[in-house]
Chain A
Amino acid sequence: MAVAYLPTSAPAERHSLVSRLLEDERWLALALFLPTVVILGLFIAYPFVEGVLLAVTDAKVGVPGHFVGLNNFAKLWNDSIFRTAVWNTFWYTGVTTVFKLALGLWLALLLNRHFKGKAITRAFVLLPFIIPTVLSTFAWKWMFDPTFSVINWTLYRLGLIHGRINWLSDPDLAMISVIIVNIWRGVPFYAISLLAGLQTINPELQEAAAIDGARPWQRFWHVTWPLLLPVTMVVVLFSVIQTFADFQLVYVLTGGGPANATHLFATYAYQVGIGAGLLSEGAAISLAMFPALLIVVVIQLLYIRRVETH
């Protein structure tokens, strides 16, 4: 027995060393975090540093570039397309967020009632959010087609318009079209998240308020809304970040056109950095998003801290 036992004793010892180390919480935590830290370090932290370094050079594709300080940012400051893109991004984020919140809340309140076919309605309503954005945006682009737009056809047949509406070729209308599609895609996410929030609210509170004679609107404003606020905050902050950094919708619908009128930060960064190969300038445009994103993230962190400590 002892002879048969001996050869395995060495690996057994090593094994026990590993398992002894893993008994220590600190070593176990280190082991558990290793894969995550490696991936996030290599593909988030490193590119971030690289991005900052890139933005202060004049690198192009295949050309390493030299240090130029803040020249790229100074150049952007005087770039009218960049200024339009900044304005568009804030406008786009602001308008869509207001509409997504209002319509999403409305839809959530509708879905919170009991009716036949509730489960299937809820499942279908979420479709715009789960179907790949690029693919559903193509359906919208086809619906906005200058010659064969089904929206125009319907409006014409209803007698509401007399000529074509050039949804995507007029600068102002193009921005509105992009906003419409973003709202369409975002409302289900708001609705489903807010619905989850609504379902955690005790219905007895509503009943008690009703017995006290509160009108439906008062019940919503004084009972439901304050309880829904924490979920709403988180949903809005998430959605603001996603919308602010949006790329796909504009890329597919307008490509930033007509005449660079509908660019957002991300699409302009793509056009300059990848399209024209001016890596450093593109990196600078992307990084220009950072301060605004940071503010949102800090608000969110502070908010979560506050909720956790209370």
Chain B
Amino acid sequence: MIEGAKWRRWVFFYIPLGVFVFVLLFPFYWMMVTTVRPDSELYRPWMAPNYTPFWTLHPTLEHIQYLLGETLFSTWMWNTLLISIVATIISVFCGLLAGYALSRLHFPFAGSLGTGIFITYLVPQTLLFIPLADIIRNFRLGDTPWALILTYPTFLIPFCTWLLMGYFKAIPRELEECARIDGATRWKAMVYIVFPVAVPGILSAGIFAFTLSWNEFIYALVFLSSPAQKTVPVGVTSELIRGDVFYWGPLMAGALLGSIPVAIIYSFFVEHYVAGVTGAVKG
């Protein structure tokens, strides 16, 4: 705690922290208020009397009803959920195997393979999206969930590998050696002895990978074209804006509802998530 007088504590701690929290959370509050605010209030000139921008006295569900009834929002939610889950499972599976190999086995080119995976970790999606769109078209995967299920692992696997490699390094080798002395094969020792111990790491990798997939935008924007195939971020962007007209009520309702799945997962696994974030940078 800050030493000294009470005012020092306020000036150097409570006020700065309060400002940080307020600024970081205000946009989400604004999303919520806009979601339940009737259109008549939403588009009221700002000099109007009785204008209460920070809350509403007439909350309404009309925007949410419009979103769920008149748009394909629920389809987008299912698409995103399906794509994120499958891409996460593929990535954690690949990352688990590769991470184990990198941390435990001696084989030719181990170093260069490790470096190669680390470099792909740093390749941003925006570097390759144009040639990749061409390739997706040639593989006839365009406008299907597979276009994303197969490409999301390109940025998830390196992350999962890196994170799980760190976990495996922390597991003592003696554990497997004992199992192998008892007659277990390398494969069995890996699957039945080492992997169960790495469950917290698997969980962190999975949660982080899931939120990254849910968040992904540019691949989904480029590879999908029909409205019924879209994911939440792309659907909200392209279908709730007509030309220059923004439907702010439904748009904010979509932003709010589209954030809820990640927010729920996050709230249950905050510690694992933080471990994922920090593991991602510590390596």
Q: Which of B20, B154, B217 contacts A125 (CB 8 A)?
A: B20
Tell whether, in the assembled complex, residue B27 and residue A139 are in contact, meaning their CB atoms are under 8 Å apart: yes
Nearest Cβ in chain A — how far from B39, in angstroms? 12
Tell whether, in the assembled complex, residue B20 and residue A36 are in contact, meaning their CB atoms are under 8 Å apart: no
Q: Does B228 interact with chain A (Cβ within 8 Å)? A: no
Question: With a CB–CB cut-off of 8 A, which chain A residues contact B266?
Answer: 123, 126, 130
Q: Does A96 interact with chain B (Cβ within 8 Å)? A: no
Tell whether, in the assembled complex, residue B127 and residue A33 are in contact, meaning their CB atoms are under 8 Å apart: no
Nearest Cβ in chain B — how far from A123, in angstroms? 5
Question: With a CB–CB cut-off of 8 A, which chain A residues contact B105?
Answer: 25, 28-29, 32
Question: With a CB–CB cut-off of 8 A, which chain B residues contact A193?
Answer: 277-278, 281
Q: Mark B42-71, 1 if CB is under 8 A from A, else 0.
A: 110110000101100000000000000000
Task: Pick the interface stretch among B170-178, B198-206, B247-255.
Answer: B247-255
Q: Mark A265-302, 1 if CB is under 8 A from B, else 0.
A: 11001100110000100110011011001001100110
**In chain B, what residue has the closest Cβ to A18?**
B187
Tell whether, in the assembled complex, residue A32 and residue B128 are in contact, meaning their CB atoms are under 8 Å apart: no
Tell whether, in the assembled complex, residue A248 and residue B236 are in contact, meaning their CB atoms are under 8 Å apart: no
* Alpha-carbon separation in the docked complex, A110 to B17 (Å): 7
**In chain A, what residue has the closest Cβ to B233?**
A134
* Alpha-carbon separation in the docked complex, A107 to B283 (Å): 23
Nearest Cβ in chain A — how far from B154, in angstroms? 5
Question: With a CB–CB cut-off of 8 A, which chain B residues contact A242?
Answer: 124
Tell whether, in the assembled complex, residue A133 and residue B283 are in contact, meaning their CB atoms are under 8 Å apart: no
| Interface range for B | 35 or more
Q: Does A173 interact with chain B (Cβ within 8 Å)? A: no
Tell whether, in the assembled complex, residue B127 and residue A121 are in contact, meaning their CB atoms are under 8 Å apart: no
Q: Does A70 interact with chain B (Cβ within 8 Å)? A: no
Residue among A111, A193, A290 with the highest chain B CB neighbour number at 10 A: A193
Residues facing B in A119-137 (CB within 8 A) are 119, 121-136
Residue among B24, B100, B158, B161 with the highest chain A CB neighbour number at 10 A: B24
Tell whether, in the assembled complex, residue B151 and residue A43 are in contact, meaning their CB atoms are under 8 Å apart: yes
Question: With a CB–CB cut-off of 8 A, which chain A residues contact B51?
Answer: 153
Tell whether, in the assembled complex, residue B115 and residue A110 are in contact, meaning their CB atoms are under 8 Å apart: no
Q: Does B10 interact with chain A (Cβ within 8 Å)? A: no
Q: Does B1 interact with chain A (Cβ within 8 Å)? A: yes
Q: Does A48 interact with chain B (Cβ within 8 Å)? A: yes
Q: Mark A140-152, 1 if CB is under 8 A from B, else 0.
A: 1111010110101
Q: Does A231 interact with chain B (Cβ within 8 Å)? A: yes
**In chain B, what residue has the closest Cβ to A128?**
B24
Q: Does B82 interact with chain A (Cβ within 8 Å)? A: no
Tell whether, in the assembled complex, residue B131 and residue A33 are in contact, meaning their CB atoms are under 8 Å apart: no
Tell whether, in the assembled complex, residue A150 and residue B97 are in contact, meaning their CB atoms are under 8 Å apart: no
Question: With a CB–CB cut-off of 8 A, which chain B residues contact A266?
Answer: 124, 126, 218
Nearest Cβ in chain A — how far from B280, in angstroms? 8
Q: Does A188 interact with chain B (Cβ within 8 Å)? A: yes
Q: Mark A36-49, 1 if CB is under 8 A from B, else 0.
A: 10011011101110
Q: Does A189 interact with chain B (Cβ within 8 Å)? A: yes
* Alpha-carbon separation in the docked complex, A279 to B117 (Å): 28
Whether A130 touches B30, Cβ cut-off 8 Å, given contacts A142-B248, A247-B217, is no
Residue among A47, A248, A251 with the highest chain B CB neighbour number at 10 A: A47
Tell whether, in the assembled complex, residue B218 and residue A25 are in contact, meaning their CB atoms are under 8 Å apart: no
| Interface range for A | 35 or more
**In chain A, what residue has the closest Cβ to B110?**
A29
Q: Does A192 interact with chain B (Cβ within 8 Å)? A: yes
Tell whether, in the assembled complex, residue B262 and residue A269 are in contact, meaning their CB atoms are under 8 Å apart: no
Tell whether, in the assembled complex, residue A39 and residue B130 are in contact, meaning their CB atoms are under 8 Å apart: no
Q: Mark A103-120, 1 if CB is under 8 A from B, else 0.
A: 100110011011100010
Tell whether, in the assembled complex, residue B237 and residue A252 are in contact, meaning their CB atoms are under 8 Å apart: yes
Q: Does B28 interact with chain A (Cβ within 8 Å)? A: yes
Knowing that A23-B186, A39-B157, A139-B30 touch, tell me 7 more A-B residue pairs with CB under 8 angstroms.
A51-B130, A114-B1, A131-B263, A134-B233, A136-B259, A234-B281, A283-B130
Spell out B's residues near A (CB within 8 Å).
Answer: 1-2, 13, 16-17, 20-21, 23-25, 27-28, 30-31, 34, 42-43, 45-46, 51, 53-54, 90, 93-95, 97-98, 100-101, 105-108, 110, 113, 115-120, 122-135, 150-151, 153-154, 157-158, 161, 185-187, 211, 214-215, 217-218, 222, 232-234, 236-237, 246, 248, 251-252, 254-255, 258-259, 262-263, 266-267, 270, 273-274, 277-278, 280-283
Q: What are 11 inter-chain pairs, A to B, with CB distance below 8 A?
A: A19-B187, A28-B187, A35-B97, A51-B127, A106-B16, A106-B20, A142-B246, A269-B129, A273-B130, A274-B130, A279-B134
